[in-house]
A and B are shown apart, each in its own frame.
Chain A
C-alpha cells in the first residue's frame, strides 16, 4: 500500500498563517482529506476534496494540492487550533485501501 508522509511537528505564532503538508504517490490521483484531533478526542474532518469544509469548520481552514503534495493552510491560527492534524486518501493501488499520514502536531505559540 502507498504511504502518506507528514512533518511530525510544526509551530505557528498566534494569528499567523501555517501550512501543513502531506506527500504521497496516491495524491497525484486522489484528493486528500484532513482531520483535526485534540488530546483525548476523536478526529474531526476539516477539509475534503479539492477544498471543501464541512459545516461548522471555520473558513480559516483551506486545502490545496499540487503534484504529489496536499496542503492544509490555517490563515490566522488561533489557540484552539493547536492539535494533531492527519491527512488521508485512498491507496494508489486501486484496491479499496485507505491510508493516513503519520500526523503533524501543530503548536500555536
Chain B
C-alpha cells in the first residue's frame, strides 16, 4: 500500500526541540520531492518546507527559517523535520506530503499527520 506515516509529535515546552519522522512505503521514495505542511488547530493549511529527491535542494517558509531543518534518508525511505526553538504558534498537526511526478507545488499523497503541542 502506498502510504506515508508520521511520528514523533508530542507536548514540548516553548524553546524546546522535537524531531518528526515520516516513513514512506509502497512507492520509490527516492524519486520524489517531499514536503512538510502543517495545520494549527481549527485553522488552514500552511506549507513548512521542501526537499528535493536527492536532498540537495531545500526551502523553508519564512515562519520557520533558521529554526527548522528538513532532511531525508532515501536508504531508510524516511523524511525528517528537526524543530528547534519551538514557539506556541508552532502548535499544529504536521503532515508529510509528496509532490507528484506530474508537477511541483502540489501534493498527491499525505500522511495522517502528527500533533505537535508547544505549551508550558
Contacts and interface: CB of A to CB of B under 8 A. Distances in A.
Given A42-B95, A48-B103, A101 B44 contact: yes
B contacts with A: majority SS: loop
A contacts with B: majority SS: strand
Interface of B: 35, 44-47, 50, 59, 61-62, 95, 100, 102-108, 110-113
A97 B111 CA distance: 21
A94 B112 CA distance: 30
B46 A33 contact: no
B32 to A, nearest CB: 14
A61 interface: no
A88 B45 contact: yes
Contacts of B106: 33, 45, 48, 88
Interface of A: 1, 30, 33, 35, 37, 41-45, 48-49, 52, 54, 86, 88-90, 95-103
